[in-house]
Amino acid sequence: MVGKHWNVETRAEIAALYSVKSMQELAQTYNVSVSTVHNIVRKKAMFGTVADRPKSGRPRISSDRDDRRLVRCSLQNRFRSSETLRRLWHIRASARTVRRRLLAVGLRSCVAKRKPPLTKLHRRMRLQWCKARRNWTLEQWRAVVFVDESSFSLLPNSSRTLVRRRKNEANLPQCEAPSTKWRTPKLMVWGAITGAGVGPLHRCNGNINQYVYESILDSHEEYLIGCTIAQDNAPCHKTALIREWMSIHGIDTLPWPSCSPDLNPIEHVWAIMKRRIQGFHYKSKGELWGVLTRMWTTFTPFFVRRFVDSMPNRVAAVIAAKGGNTKY
């Protein structure tokens, strides 16, 4: 066994026995060369220990000041790639070195959450809405019918936006990618959920205007009558025609703050459905509709209720964020 691979206890034992034994005797006892024993004894005399000395290694290519400048450059624009940061750093380092320096301070590359940008008015209205319903019980939330429209792409959509952030910074405005509509063949659907489970799922032909939306409501009048509906502020939902239809059929609508998809639990159902069809290419809207309807029927009441029962937590999260975006 080579002496430098011995543990510290064995080396200390050799150094301690040197006071009563010669180097030749120690070399024979431990089956090593005399020079190995000599090096151990000499190291003990010089440094007072036989433990390994700190290795100098390759010197860092950047100073602490350089590293701080790199972090500031990354925080100025969270969407800069490591290659872009390398060029802006003005240090002859690789993109891999840039990533290591940023990881050392907790900045890692993640997929940015897509959230609607919020103005001061949006934040104030969201905060007021949540404070007015902070004491609602689960029974009250379960009685609400959450409705919404969503579009599903016929083509695989794997677009991702990477952002460099720390562990708990996912919901910072500077770390969020604005949500946009993609221009690919898509199928628009309308759906409803409550605390009792999924409601109807309706296929829409083309975009939804007030007349199309009225026909959707007519198709599911029996399900909706006498209920309280929670729907967003899409233009087709707020027209005089739709308000009159709701009034005639005795349907209450829950006032809704703008830019608040995180307060509608059906958005999580849409997200799950989109993940499940991710990566598939559908030949027609009819084929995609068949997949969506089969998937819709597999959602059990217990599965859906957990999203509706998260409403108190969603309300509390918006209040904690002072009207800002939340993790939902």
119: left (phi over 0), alpha (psi -120 to 50) or beta: beta
92/127 same-domain check:
no
Q: What percent of the chain has pLDDT over 70?
A: 94
Are 34 and 40 a contacting pair, CB within 8 Å? no
Helix (H) or strand (E) holding 70: helix 64-76
pLDDT, mean over the chain: 88
236/316 same-domain check:
yes
Q: What is the CATH number of the domain that holds 253?
A: 3.30.420.10
16-50: b (≥16 Cβ within 10 Å) or e = ebbeeeebeebbeebebeeebbeebbebbeeeeeb
95/119 same-domain check:
no
87/190 same-domain check:
no
Q: Is 279 helix (H, G, I), strand (E, B) or coil?
A: coil
Position 54 in a domain: no
251/208 same-domain check:
yes
> Residue 121, Cβ neighbours under 10 Å: how many?
12
178 versus 118: which is more confidently predicted? 118
Q: According to the model, what pLDDT value does residue 74 have?
A: 92
pLDDT in tens, 290-315: 999 999 999 999 999 999 999 999 99
Q: Phi/psi of residue 145, each to 5°?
A: -95, 110
If you write DSSP's letter for every residue of 220-235 in order, what string do you get? THHHHTT-EEE----G
92/28 same-domain check:
no
Position 327 in a domain: no
43/147 same-domain check:
no
90/16 same-domain check:
no
Q: According to the model, what pLDDT value does residue 10 have?
A: 84
pLDDT for residue 1 is more than 50: no
Position 57 in a domain: no
Q: Where are the alpha helices (DSSP H) in 136-250?
A: 138-142, 210-219, 221-224, 240-248
Please list, in sequence order, all residues whose beta carbon lies within 8 angstroms of the beta carbon of residue 289, skipping any fewer than 6 positions away: 187, 189, 203
Instruction: Please state the pTM of the whole predicted model.
Output: 0.69
pLDDT in tens, 46-67: 888 888 877 777 888 899 999 9
Position 20 in a domain: yes
Whole-number Cα distances in Å, 33 to 3, 26, 38, 269: 9, 9, 9, 73
Are 289 and 187 a contacting pair, CB within 8 Å? yes
pLDDT for residue 182 is more than 70: no
- Residue 269 pairs with which residues in a beta bridge? none
250/213 same-domain check:
yes
89/156 same-domain check:
no
Number of domains in the chain: 3
Q: Phi/psi of residue 22, each to 5°?
A: -80, 170
191/145 same-domain check:
yes
35/71 same-domain check:
no
Position 110 in a domain: no
pLDDT for residue 2 is more than 50: no
Domain that holds residue 22: 3-47
Position 58 in a domain: no
Position 326 in a domain: no
Estimate to the nearest angstrom the gap between the alpha carbon of 265 and the chain centroid: 17
* Closest C-alpha to 159, from 190, 144, 180: 180
Q: What is the DSSP letter of 261?
A: G
Whole-number Cα distances in Å, 245 to 216, 288, 325: 12, 31, 33
Kindly indicate the confidence band of residue 3, based on its pLDDT and cuts at 50, 70 and 90.
very low
pLDDT in tens, 72-130: 999 999 888 899 999 999 899 999 999 999 999 999 888 787 788 889 999 999 999 99
pLDDT for residue 229 is more than 90: yes
Position 174 in a domain: yes
